[in-house]
Chain A
Amino acid sequence: MTLFRKAPRTERMEDIPDDESWTDWFQRYGPKLLLCARQWTRSLADAEDVVQEAFVRFWRHQRGLGGEPQALLFTSVRRAAIDLARRNSRRSAREEQADGGLESTEPLFETPLEGDDRREAIETALRRLPAEQREVLVLKIWGELTFEQIAAQLGIPPNTAASRYRYALGALREALTAADCHG
């Protein structure tokens, strides 16, 4: 099976009723946006600030642009994270590394009814992935973006996005297998 199989149909602006409120959107996209923001920021608080800024910017200025809102929302989050990193780097050059949002101990995912150990193992493995692989994985799995959209987002070729995704899944599988073996 090829990695470039047909992507599931994504929501388009034309499909969204005009009367849908921002709260409906935020409920639907907020958790995904926060997960993405956390990998581009230093802390959960920073990630929440980024999501807030990006969502307001999107809702006010970009919602009427047409096309696929999800990709625009993630672009908005990434730009807001980059802006925040720039602002922070002006305050303190040593804080320039913006990869700590996933290093914090707060959980990334909701606790399932069963199998919390498995969730913890997945989170640990995810945090240990190289940042470039992790961001592709997060955008693909939870952001539900296509490889073309991820490539446009990160400024890389779609094939590179696809191979990073494949490497990330492979590394996760290895880490989880090792975790299972060590009990």
Chain B
Amino acid sequence: MDNELHELEAELKRLRPVAPAPAVAADIGVALAAPRRRFWAWTALPLAAGLAGVALLRSPSTPPAPVPAAAAAYKPVSAENLLYSQRDEGLVTLADGTTARRYRSSYVDTITWKNPRTQASLRWSVPRTEERVIPVSFQ
């Protein structure tokens, strides 16, 4: 690239993108305050099993390396969430009498790890169902 393009590049880098509206941060706070599921309890076991399997396949004559050491060599390169179905389940009444609409979405979450040194990769997929209950108001 010539100098002029470098100058333009530097000028662009000085521009600061506008921030999301304060309501976005507020909504994130509400969402993160909601009870969370133990995601890692489900991911740790298959990952450990997968890495142990990789270690076994790569050096069948030697005992497998301890999983934490093997796991440290793998870096996550992508985490994808594929939405494959979404259903509107209609109106429901919540415990406090509020009327809400329930949506059910089905995903396949796929996480890929890669060992940058050996280029070996490990992909883990798991189905996930998400249920959203959105209060509705009638006019």
Binding site for B on A (CB under 8 A): 1, 3, 22-23, 26, 30-35, 48, 51-52, 55-57, 59-62, 64-67, 71-72, 75-76, 79-80, 83, 86-87, 90, 106-110, 112, 119, 122, 137, 141-142, 152, 166, 169-170, 172-173, 176
Contacts and interface: CB of A to CB of B under 8 A. Distances in A.
Interface of B: 1, 4-6, 8-9, 11-21, 23-25, 27-29, 31-32, 36, 39-40, 75-83, 86, 109, 111
A30 B5 contact: no
A122 B16 contact: no
A52 B31 contact: yes
A62 B8 contact: no
B18 A173 contact: no
Contacts, number: 124
A62 B31 contact: no
Nearest to B15: A109
Given A65-B79, A79-B80, A137-B12, 13 more contacts: A1-B6, A35-B18, A48-B24, A60-B36, A71-B77, A75-B78, A79-B81, A79-B82, A80-B81, A141-B12, A141-B13, A166-B5, A169-B8
A109 B16 contact: yes
Contacts of B111: 62, 65
Given A34-B19, A59-B32, A51 B24 contact: yes
25 contacts: A3-B1, A22-B32, A26-B25, A30-B20, A30-B25, A31-B20, A32-B17, A34-B17, A35-B18, A48-B23, A51-B20, A52-B24, A56-B32, A62-B76, A65-B111, A66-B75, A72-B79, A75-B80, A90-B86, A108-B18, A137-B12, A142-B12, A142-B13, A152-B78, A170-B5
A83 to B, nearest CB: 4
A134 B12 CA distance: 13
A173 B8 contact: yes
User: Which residue, B9, B31, B81, has most C-beta atoms of chain A within 10 A?
Assistant: B81
B28 to A, nearest CB: 6
Given A52-B31, A75-B79, A142 B17 contact: yes
A87 B1 CA distance: 41
Nearest to B39: A61
Contacts of A32: 17
Contacts of A67: 75-77
A142 B14 CA distance: 9
B137 to A, nearest CB: 19
Contacts of B9: 141, 169
B24 A65 contact: no
Nearest to A55: B28
B15 A122 contact: yes
